[in-house]
Amino acid sequence: MLAATLNFGFFVGDISNPELHNSWELFSALVVALITTVLKFGDSTQLGAIHLATSLVALLQLAAAAGMWVWATQVSPHGLDEHATASVVSLSGGALLANLVSVTLLVVETATFRRR
């Protein structure tokens, strides 16, 4: 849930304006996604595998977005222009979608859980 909210905070805003997207929010979302992915490795159920898959997708998308951000700010002669910002925000949008699927699965799993 924390990864989804951090990612949402980074994602919201004009897609081509780098001033509206904080690099620390992206980094925080990446770190939380990494931690949650590692925690999901122990679950051997079918639903656990789906949770792990959605976490891996979000992690890969956020890692690609962070890599694009670093490349644009440190390597590219153009800097973090509107095209690079749009790519970073689009990649984080894919991670946000994966996070939303994971949260939806978690809510459904919790709602159908029966006490024994």
Amino acid 116: pLDDT: 57
User: Is pLDDT of 115 > 70?
Assistant: no
Q: Among 99, 110, 23, which residue's Cα sits nearest to residue 10?
A: 23
List pLDDT tens digits, range 57-85: 999 999 999 999 999 999 999 999 999 99
List pLDDT tens digits, range 1-45: 888 999 999 999 898 888 899 999 999 999 999 999 999 888 888
Residue type, 116: R
Amino acid 109: pLDDT: 87
Amino acid 47: pLDDT: 87
By the 8 A CB rule, do 69 and 88 touch?
yes
By the 8 A CB rule, do 60 and 99 touch?
no
Q: What is the pTM of this model?
A: 0.89
By the 8 A CB rule, do 9 and 21 touch?
no
